[in-house]
Chains A and B, each alone.
Chain A
């Protein structure tokens, strides 16, 4: 017989890592036509970070994403970066590219102020223009400013910058300190169905609410959440490297090491909770790693809700769940307290 269950789990997760400083740096060049080129030492690993970094540059310069060309991942060409790790790219590299773009922009604003006959502080870059904040009709195209800056005034608009998150070293004895500049939060609720004859679990639905600070690109945040949940389902139910008694892996292949396939993936409802981080670029934090963190406990809590057994060693394979159900049934026959089906 199949039993339905629902489980909830929440989590917190820090952005960046803490053992040492973890700086990023960037170079932004604004071309004579008002497009821009970003040089970053981070590496695109499939998550879409280059797109996000391009959007941050575009935002700072008041241009659109397609106006920014991103060059990455070449130690001879791009400046240093601590790397695509620790959910840090949007927050740390994002701040470095924002600061580099701001430096290029300051040259453009100075040149535009001369061209328009106003003070620099009166100006903003928006919608491909540099314009007077209080009187937007007074404006000049970013392309004209960039061309003028380089050709007429000899001031090519480029910027370079670095960023390192503000942290406070932890006390070695008590661990007290400020190890991270920012944390994100998330909750996932899962619906499952558990077959009490086979122990098999089907994840029917996941409701995921994730804080990422400002979502620079909501579509990419959703992509991270979906991918993280796939990884979390594998952790909860099926994935495990097994060893023989001599210490040799016995399932180093995708036939016997079971990751979820598209057929195992449930519908996922995603809510992006936008908070505004005072340090992150345009309020952004990060989202890469935390997406999988609440998935396994939400599933395990749902299994308990469905059949009253609490699996405490992952993965909760069908075999383990079935054994726990049997053990619980035997306990009930003996008149023990119900709900004591813990493994």
Chain B
């Protein structure tokens, strides 16, 4: 068990190492650099400015704790908002009664979805309600927002809201949801975004291959975990302009979504984002802003909502779990001949950024390798789970796990060095991508050789 798999150094590897083939790129000539290089003193004063290890403009305030995030801001008379969320994964809402909640100490106002002028948002399809009105589709859907004098009073009042549901069959497995007879979560098809990439003839490629490798890979649902949970404040300026402070990474889109949901002209809405304490894709859409705007209007007071960590997990977006079926045909000398990939993305309860994610995942799925025959199809599927959306890498970390795991399995079976098989098949300057694009400034081989050299890969012969 402790024995290591055999990896032979091939003759090819030696040649490749001696003579990098990275197009116009220079060979690696730089000596070792320290693991951590200090910021260069005076870099901020140097010209030319590009290439300097300039000290960040905002580092002093971050390190001294004086950066002002949204939650550090307060306005006179500001109220605090908490949102009641669904206890059902999939259900019809029969009734929502806020009478008792409105009588709770400190409560100033409540808001339900039927009070929102256009109660939907979403980057590709506007399939997500700001607050659910007739149906909930996962256990993070908001139902009622409560504005109170303190955060605690708003939290306490949530328990006084009475909601009755009629449960509907819920789907948690995208492979079940993709079946034609599965219950529908929206409209008439649970598959809501697809991408296909076809190059060459994959079946012919498999027929010409010496060996075929097939495996299913799966990844998990992941949360962005930004240090700063999502926060926003809404207030109405005396001249009637709505001013929203929000930890939103895309204020241009955020303002457009606000204008749409509130049915207001864009020039009457100002969105300010200050500094954001980590985004990673989880702050690319509006969350509570329309709710806060309407509660601020109702109460004539500024209102704030700061997500706690649980809100951030269940009511923001997450990384798509993907079920990935990889089939790869190779020649005995290690050349990749054909690869087919089928991706099924757990698309959660609403579309969010899934269309972009399935697109990027499909485009990248065959890996940075010259493969004459490629067939990739990816599908994003609704389930009654937490919304999956944009997250650092947009599907790339998932497919890279699959294609790089399979590359190692192929190398192992063929008795090749894992570095050698990547050098043998990797893109180089002028390679054609799987979408037919001529690639420029391709530094793949140089990254492989540099990391190998830095780690002593060749010396160790691992």
Which residues of A are interface residues toward B (Cβ below 8 A)?
1, 3, 5-14, 17-19, 41, 43-46, 48, 50-51, 54-56, 58-59, 62-66, 70, 72-76, 80-86, 126-128, 168, 170, 173-180, 182-189, 191, 196, 205, 207-211, 213-220, 222, 228, 231-232, 234-235, 239-241, 243, 246-249, 252-254, 257, 259, 267-271, 273, 275-278, 282, 285, 288-290, 292-298, 300-301, 304-308, 310, 312-315, 325, 328-329, 332, 339, 342
- With A43-B249, A249-B386 already in contact, 15 other A-B pairs whose C-beta atoms are closer than 8 Å: A11-B396, A73-B274, A83-B249, A84-B276, A86-B356, A128-B47, A174-B199, A175-B434, A176-B198, A209-B454, A211-B443, A217-B52, A269-B35, A289-B392, A314-B220
Q: Are A173 and B89 within 8 A (Cβ)?
A: no
Measured between beta carbons, the chain B residues less than 8 angstroms from A273 are 443, 446-447, 450
Q: Are B386 and A241 within 8 A (Cβ)?
A: yes
Measured between beta carbons, the chain A residues less than 8 angstroms from B248 are 43
Given A64-B45, A215-B51, A292-B392: A312 and B405 within 8 A (CB)? yes
Residue of B1, B58, B412 most packed against chain A (CB within 10 A): B1
Query: Which residue of A has the minimal Cβ distance to B270?
Result: A76
Given A45-B278, A55-B54: A17 and B4 within 8 A (CB)? no
**Interface residue from B55, B196, B400 paired with A296 (Cβ < 8 Å):** B400
Q: Are B450 and A277 within 8 A (Cβ)?
A: no
- B33 at the A interface (CB under 8 A): yes
Q: Are B274 and A65 within 8 A (Cβ)?
A: no
**Cα–Cα, bound, A217→B302 (Å):** 40
Measured between beta carbons, the chain A residues less than 8 angstroms from B54 are 51, 54-55, 65, 217, 219
Q: Are A56 and B222 within 8 A (Cβ)?
A: no
Among B94-102, B203-211, B292-300, B363-371, the one that faces the other chain is B363-371
Q: Are A64 and B46 within 8 A (Cβ)?
A: yes
Q: Are B5 and A308 within 8 A (Cβ)?
A: yes
**Cα–Cα, bound, A340→B248 (Å):** 47
Q: Are B51 and A216 within 8 A (Cβ)?
A: yes
Query: Which residue of B has the minimal Cβ distance to A66?
Result: B44
**Cα–Cα, bound, A313→B403 (Å):** 13
Measured between beta carbons, the chain A residues less than 8 angstroms from B446 are 185, 209, 211, 273, 275
Q: Are B314 and A296 within 8 A (Cβ)?
A: no
List, sorted by A's number, 12 A–B pairs whose CB atoms are closer than 8 Å: A9-B400, A10-B426, A19-B359, A44-B276, A59-B50, A70-B57, A86-B394, A126-B48, A209-B454, A219-B37, A243-B385, A282-B50
Query: Which residue of B has the minimal Cβ distance to A259?
Result: B225
Q: Interface residues of B toward A: which range?
A: 35 or more
| Residues from 379 to 423 in B contacting A, C-beta threshold 8 Å | 384-386, 390, 392-394, 396-397, 400-401, 403-405, 408-409, 412, 418-419, 422
**Interface residue from B5, B196, B362 paired with A305 (Cβ < 8 Å):** B5
| Residues from 92 to 125 in B contacting A, C-beta threshold 8 Å | 124
Which residues of B are interface residues toward A (Cβ below 8 A)?
1-5, 25, 33, 35-37, 39, 43-58, 87-90, 124, 138-139, 170, 172, 195-199, 215-223, 225, 227, 248-253, 255, 269-281, 283-284, 309-310, 313-314, 318, 355-356, 359-360, 362-364, 367-368, 376, 384-386, 390, 392-394, 396-397, 400-401, 403-405, 408-409, 412, 418-419, 422, 426-427, 433-437, 439-444, 446-448, 450-452, 454-455, 457, 460, 462
**Cα–Cα, bound, A247→B273 (Å):** 33
Q: Are A248 and B392 within 8 A (Cβ)?
A: no
Given A8-B418, A84-B279, A296-B400: A58 and B49 within 8 A (CB)? yes
Measured between beta carbons, the chain B residues less than 8 angstroms from A7 are 408, 418
Q: Are B57 and A82 within 8 A (Cβ)?
A: no
Q: Are B217 and A10 within 8 A (Cβ)?
A: no
Q: Are A292 and B397 within 8 A (Cβ)?
A: yes
**Cα–Cα, bound, A240→B220 (Å):** 6
Given A9-B404, A58-B49, A304-B408: A177 and B56 within 8 A (CB)? no
Q: Are A176 and B313 within 8 A (Cβ)?
A: no
**Interface residue from A126, A183, A191, A314 paired with B218 (Cβ < 8 Å):** A314
**Cα–Cα, bound, A206→B275 (Å):** 30
Query: Which residue of B has the minimal Cβ distance to A61?
Result: B49
Tell me the smallest distance from the CB of A256 to a CB of chain B, in Å.
10
Q: Are A293 and B314 within 8 A (Cβ)?
A: no
Measured between beta carbons, the chain B residues less than 8 angstroms from A332 are 1
Measured between beta carbons, the chain B residues less than 8 angstroms from A54 are 49, 54, 57
**Interface residue from A13, A82, A271 paired with B252 (Cβ < 8 Å):** A82
Measured between beta carbons, the chain A residues less than 8 angstroms from B455 are 6, 189, 191, 205, 207, 269
Q: Are A45 and B279 within 8 A (Cβ)?
A: yes
Given A175-B376, A293-B400, A301-B404: A82 and B250 within 8 A (CB)? yes
Residue of A282, A285, A301 most packed against chain B (CB within 10 A): A301
Measured between beta carbons, the chain A residues less than 8 angstroms from B441 are 182, 211, 213, 275-278, 285
**Cα–Cα, bound, A271→B276 (Å):** 28
Measured between beta carbons, the chain A residues less than 8 angstroms from B25 are 275
Q: Are A17 and B394 within 8 A (Cβ)?
A: yes
Q: Are B1 and A308 within 8 A (Cβ)?
A: yes
Q: Are A45 and B198 within 8 A (Cβ)?
A: no
Q: Are A293 and B396 within 8 A (Cβ)?
A: yes
**Cα–Cα, bound, A7→B418 (Å):** 8
**Cα–Cα, bound, A15→B309 (Å):** 31
Tell me the smallest distance from the CB of A306 to a CB of chain B, in Å.
8
**Cα–Cα, bound, A51→B362 (Å):** 33
Given A6-B462, A247-B385, A293-B400: A45 and B376 within 8 A (CB)? no
Q: Are A63 and B49 within 8 A (Cβ)?
A: yes
Query: Which residue of B has the minimal Cβ distance to A81?
Result: B252
Q: Are A301 and B408 within 8 A (Cβ)?
A: yes
Measured between beta carbons, the chain B residues less than 8 angstroms from A126 are 47-48
Q: Are A75 and B392 within 8 A (Cβ)?
A: no
Given A19-B355, A45-B276, A288-B392: A178 and B49 within 8 A (CB)? no
